[in-house]
């Protein structure tokens, strides 16, 4: 009897140790096995290279947090204006050089550069973590900038405020409408991020083109604006009173000056309002990644709760993840879409998608070249 019982026990143990049929395996086991495989591959590669916006705070916080989480993987962040980094990536690709793995930044330069050149991989197959893959974790579900809904993932959404003022020179409410920018007192005292190149400057210019028209922009150019492509230098002209107002610069550019206690704030919402944006929160994955496992690891970490907390705080821009607090962003001039808009309203107001770039920003940029070249 004892031998019979022992035999039954051994059979039961053997059955318990048998792998479950493929259809019966839990999703948890599937993703964990895949994650472990990617993690080990990333450790062998030892490195991932990511192009990111020109924010010292973002570089510092991302490097610190990622190194704590994945100490065996070197994260190389190449900071710079999106259009500049993408020009470098495209030139390298054409020369057969594959140095970068991923790019994070605004959509215009991605769409007109990387997407147009056919250099991007689909993103959905690279998502592993359940908290990343599950659309219920994200306000609006999974949102894409490209029409094919495959290559450019928007992980942020907010009402953007890209007209800032020196509070010593411009009183609250003094810019109640965009028409107020045309007042004689502001002639020669408005700085603008060059709208002829992809970025927040051409995005704001495109919004003004859509709500105010070409005649308005012609008058705005006649204000003898200070036009530049170096965002920090333009922000400094406002922070130090050399200019009173700026167009096309946002919180992350002004962050060092705010921390230093200099008098800069976004203007109160004009009557025409602001546009909705994904800001710098757009992810693209390059073809022929030199570090495919480490790139996949970084992608999932960036879109995780921890990664989104780091990126949002550093940039002052708000994630679409439901489990990340974004109420703090209001003090920096940004209102989270998940706290103020329906997804349908966001799509109506956004100025970032491939469709809006074709219908709004490209013709607006053509006008900018006509007026400024």
The residues of the chain that CATH labels 3.40.190.10 are: 27-156+278-341, 161-274+364-372
What would the DSSP string read from start to end of 147-196? TTSSS-EE-B-EE---EEEETTTS-TTS-SSGGGGGSGGGTT-EEEE-TT
Contact 188, 196 (CB under 8 A): no
Q: Say what the pLDDT of residue 332 is.
A: 67
Low-confidence ranges of the chain (pLDDT < 70): 1-29, 332-333
Q: Say what the pLDDT of residue 252 is.
A: 81
Q: How far apart are the C-alpha atoms of 235 and 246, rounded to whole Å?
A: 7
Q: Say what the pLDDT of residue 250 is.
A: 84
Q: To the nearest 10°, the Cα dihedral for 283, 285, 286, 290? A: 120
Q: Say what the pLDDT of residue 37 is.
A: 97
Q: How far apart are the C-alpha atoms of 308 and 311, rounded to whole Å?
A: 5
Contact 245, 175 (CB under 8 A): yes
Tokens of 107: 């959509």
Homologous superfamily, domain 27-156+278-341: Periplasmic binding protein-like II (3.40.190.10)
For domain 161-274+364-372, which architecture applies? Answer: 3-Layer(aba) Sandwich (3.40)
The model's pLDDT over 193-220, given as tens digits with 9 standing for 90+, comes to 999 998 889 999 999 999 999 999 999 9
Q: Say what the pLDDT of residue 329 is.
A: 83
Determine which helix (DSSP H) or strand (DSSP E) holds 236, and give its type and residue range: helix 231-239
Phi then psi for residue 118, to 5 deg, are: 70, 40
Q: Say what the pLDDT of residue 131 is.
A: 97
Q: Say what the pLDDT of residue 110 is.
A: 97
Q: Say what the pLDDT of residue 275 is.
A: 92
Q: 154 pairs with which residues across the strands? A: 282
């Amino acid at each position: 009897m004892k031998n019979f019982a022992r035999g039954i026990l051994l059979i039961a143990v053997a059955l318990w140790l048998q792998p479950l049929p493929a259809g019966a395996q839990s999703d948890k086991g599937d993703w964990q096995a895949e994650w472990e495989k990617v993690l080990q591959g990333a450790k062998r590669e030892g490195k991932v290279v990511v192009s990111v916006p020109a924010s010292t705070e973002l570089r510092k916080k991302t490097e610190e947090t990622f190194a704590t989480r994945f100490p065996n993987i070197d994260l190389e962040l190449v900071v710079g204006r999106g259009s500049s980094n993408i020009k470098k990536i495209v030139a390298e690709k054409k020369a057969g050089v594959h140095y970068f793995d991923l790019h994070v930044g605004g959509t215009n330069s991605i769409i007109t550069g990387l997407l147009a050149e056919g250099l991007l991989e689909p993103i959905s197959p690279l998502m592993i973590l359940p908290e990343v893959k599950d659309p219920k974790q994200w306000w609006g579900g999974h949102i894409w900038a490209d029409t094919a809904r495959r290559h450019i993932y928007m992980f942020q959404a907010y009402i953007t405020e890209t007209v800032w003022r020196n509070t010593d020179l411009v009183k609250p409410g003094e810019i109640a409408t965009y028409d107020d920018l045309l007042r004689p007192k502001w002639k020669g005292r408005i700085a603008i991020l060059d709208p002829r190149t992809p970025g927040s400057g051409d995005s704001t210019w495109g919004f003004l083109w859509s709500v105010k028209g070409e005649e308005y922009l012609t008058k705005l150019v006649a204000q003898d604006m200070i036009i530049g492509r170096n965002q920090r230098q333009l922000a400094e002209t406002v922070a130090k009173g050399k200019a009173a107002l700026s167009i096309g610069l946002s919180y992350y550019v002004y962050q060092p000056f705010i921390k230093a206690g200099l008098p800069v704030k976004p203007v109160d919402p004009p009557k025409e309002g602001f546009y909705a944006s994904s800001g710098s929160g757009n992810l693209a994955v390059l073809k022929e990644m030199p570090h495919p496992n480490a790139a996949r690891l970084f992608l999932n970490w960036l879109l995780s709760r921890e990664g989104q907390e780091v990126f949002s705080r550093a940039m002052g821009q708000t994630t679409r993840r439901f489990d990340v607090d974004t109420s703090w962003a209001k003090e920096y001039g940004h209102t989270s879409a998940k706290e103020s808009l329906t997804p349908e309203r966001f799509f109506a107001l956004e100025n970032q998608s491939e469709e809006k770039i074709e219908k709004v920003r490209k013709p607006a940029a053509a006008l900018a070249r006509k007026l400024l070249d």
